[in-house]
Amino acid sequence: MLPTLHSERLTLRPWTLEDAETVFDMYSRWDVMRFLGTNPTVMTEPEQAEEKIAIWNAFPGPLHGVWAIVPTGEDRPVGTALLKLLPHSGTKAPSSDTEVGWHLHPDAWGSGYATEAGGRLLAHAWSHDLAQVFAVTYPENTPSQAVCLRLGMAPLGMTDSYYDISCALFRADRPA
């Protein structure tokens, strides 16, 4: 089961079907989707949001999963945070490398929520004894690369190892 996690300004909680309108609003925008996946495409039907929530809720937890990012005192999520196994290029089979990631609604960009949610998920990963966590970004996604750097992640250059794309790779190591 996916745990609910808290940080100074955020609650990271499992997505619910009641959040489907928010998911559709966020993932039907090209400015959100343009840096996600091998062939980015926007959602065009509200039912796709319900399908996405079902996929996210299929993660077994407690370590790996997909969380809704909700500012403290609010009900509506402003984004998604994730810890999951990176898929190998070619086979899409899960690697043994855990990825941290975030997708935020444009209205929440620049608020520091991605950094705060990413930091909370790294702490969650360390509490489960992971030695390292990775992040991948499209080469031109400099805002997400800046988040990686603010999280103290080391840039490792370009890789073709995951998602069947060339991406910038970052790594965080568990603190001593």
For 62-82, b/e burial (b = at least 16 CB within 10 A) is ebbbbbbbbbeeeeebbbbbb
Q: What are phi and psi of 134, to 5 degrees?
A: -115, 160
pLDDT at 119: 98
- For residue 64 the two structure tokens come to 């790996």
pLDDT in tens, 25-67: 999 999 999 999 888 999 999 999 999 999 999 998 899 999 9
Tens digits of residue pLDDT in 130-176: 999 999 999 999 999 999 999 999 999 999 999 999 999 999 999 98
Token pair of 105 as six digits: 């609604």
Model pTM? 0.96
- Domains of the chain listed by start with CATH number: 5-173 (3.40.630.30)
38 and 164 Cβ atoms separated by less than 8 Å: yes
Q: Is 129 helix (H, G, I), strand (E, B) or coil?
A: coil
Task: List phi, psi (to 5°) of 149.
Answer: -65, -40
User: How far is the C-alpha of 99 from the C-alpha of 95, rounded, in Å?
Assistant: 10
